[in-house]
Amino acid sequence: MNLTGHLLIGAADVAATEGTMKALNPATDHLIEPDFAFGGAAQVDQAATLADAAFDRYSHTSLAERAAFLESIADNLDEVRSELAARAALETGLPEAQLEGEALKAATQFRQFADVVRRGRFLQLAIDPAQPQRQPRPRMDHRLQKIAIGPVAIFGASNFPISYSVAGGDTASALAAGAPVILKAHNAHPGASEIQARTIRKAVQTHGLPEGVFSMVRGGGNAIGEALVDHPLIKAVTFTGSEPGGMALYRRAQLRPEPIPVFTEMTSVNPTFILPEALAARGAEIGDGFIERMLVNVGQACLCPSILIAIRGAGFDELRNAMRKRVSEAPARTMLTPGIHGAYVEGLVAMESAGAQVIAAGKPADATFAGRAALLEIEGQHLLGEPALAHEVFGPSALLVAVSDAEELLAVARSFRGQLSAAIHLEDPDLELARRLLPILERRTGRIVVNAFAHPQEVTYATVHGGPFPATSDSRFTSVGMTSIERFLRPVAYQGFPDELLPQTLREGNPLQLPRSVDGQ
């Protein structure tokens, strides 16, 4: 595919209005052709106007038509998988084979959402038939379905340049809901973003859908993101990134004349708790496995397990030694961007300044933006007195927290802010302590894993990728999995309608044969 560097606004390729950029290869510190266009508020307005014009038609497409559209996007992604992975590898320093897997995952998500659409359960159809003889007052016929909330602005993530980016789960779930998408591409991988955007636009054109169903914009600073959040035709925003960035968008959206939801996924250290019998039985195995998962993606994953808590006792030394060994053997690997690398280095300095001790370091970096693995250690009481030690350091580092007994372990658990996930390693004799720990974690996370690690995560109906603040801005929703579609839906009730005026989904006789609740049954 020939990269033009243009913005993709509806069916139009739009040249730069606010300057240009080149992609950076972080492994070589060299710029990569071509120039990529920056736009501004005018381009956001153009995209939003097209999205709004597309909304009524697109949101009322039949379930079969919408599912076929999503499957076309998946097919198009499959066609460019090798090219997309190669370009993404140049722009991120991540292995090409890993990125091919990520492209496959992206296509799979679109197919999964096509299945969600066909099944129709996301509409949450409900019918309360009329009761004309009811006393003291008759009941009119009531029927309910969920509809799309409106055009959605999606901010692409930096750390997964395909499956959390232009063709990621946010885009797939919003399009599945019937919401047109304006995608703000991340500047860390502009070429990979353009390839993905063109696969989506190709599917829009193949299915004869309104051009405003999808647009991709890009900007050189905060202005274009602010313009997206401010635009009155945008009805929801998704964001994956830092807590300061996410909260800036969230607050801005609440100051609009018409406030809108901002679904952020911001920060998490994904604490892992090793209970005593599991520690005694499997300390070395758990320690090695923990570091293995921590090192995935050079630690640049939202589900990276970053803090491990264990009671000093049988198996603790084996756990500690296994963690140190795995870290010391880890080669330094290229991080995604100079900014992420710089923040990682600063984060390690801050951890040491707060009292954490480095007890193992990976092999020295041999490239400018390579992240060197690190293992730090702290006592539980020190962590309780220094809450900043429990904040995320985005990169290949971990903190081992040694606690004196079960009460201190529970106290540390209570000290954590909201998390995307938490893990518990246990054996049968640990169940009593696990029962005490479980309600503490339920209040602080959206996903609890037993005898495994938080990363990786399956994309399923039961998946939850969310949690209390500051992991996300709204813990009622997940940003990954089939139920993530719920972020972009709202209920509408139809009362006293003649059958021919009702949406097909709610008509008598259930012509689409969809699952529906009738009088609660």
What's residue 457's pLDDT? 86
Dist. CA 328–CA 359, nearest whole Å: 10
pLDDT(454) > 90: no
Lowest mean pLDDT among 256-270, 324-338, 373-387, 448-462: 448-462
pLDDT (average), residues 435-451:
98
pLDDT one-digit tens code per residue, 134-182: 999 999 999 999 999 999 999 999 999 999 999 999 999 999 999 999 9
Residue 1's pLDDT band, with cuts at 50, 70 and 90, is confident
Over pLDDT 70: what percentage of the chain?
A: 100
Q: How many residues does the chain have?
A: 521
In this structure, CATH architecture of domain 272-450: 3-Layer(aba) Sandwich (3.40)
Non-local CB neighbours of 20 within 8 Å, separated by 6+ positions: 5, 35, 36, 37, 38
pLDDT one-digit tens code per residue, 354-381: 999 999 999 999 999 999 999 999 999 9
Instruction: Tell me which residue has tokens 């923990």.
Output: 290
Q: Is 265 a catalytic residue?
A: yes
pLDDT(455) > 90: no
What's residue 456's pLDDT? 84
pLDDT(128) > 90: yes
- 91, 102, 211, 265: which is the annotated catalytic residue? 265
Q: Is 304 a catalytic residue?
A: no
- Domain extents for the chain? 7-131+139-266+472-491, 272-450
Non-local CB neighbours of 169 within 8 Å, separated by 6+ positions: 109, 163, 459, 479, 480, 481, 484
- 302, 304, 318, 377: which is the annotated catalytic residue? 302
pLDDT (average), residues 317-340:
97
CATH for the stretch 7-131+139-266+472-491: 3.40.605.10
Instruction: Specify whether the CB–CB gap between 344 and 393 falls below 8 A.
Output: yes
Structure tokens given for 226: 């602010």
What is the average pLDDT value for the chain, to the nearest integer? 97
Structure tokens given for 221: 């600073």
pLDDT(502) > 90: yes
pLDDT one-digit tens code per residue, 224-281: 999 999 999 999 999 999 999 999 999 999 999 999 999 999 999 999 999 999 999 9
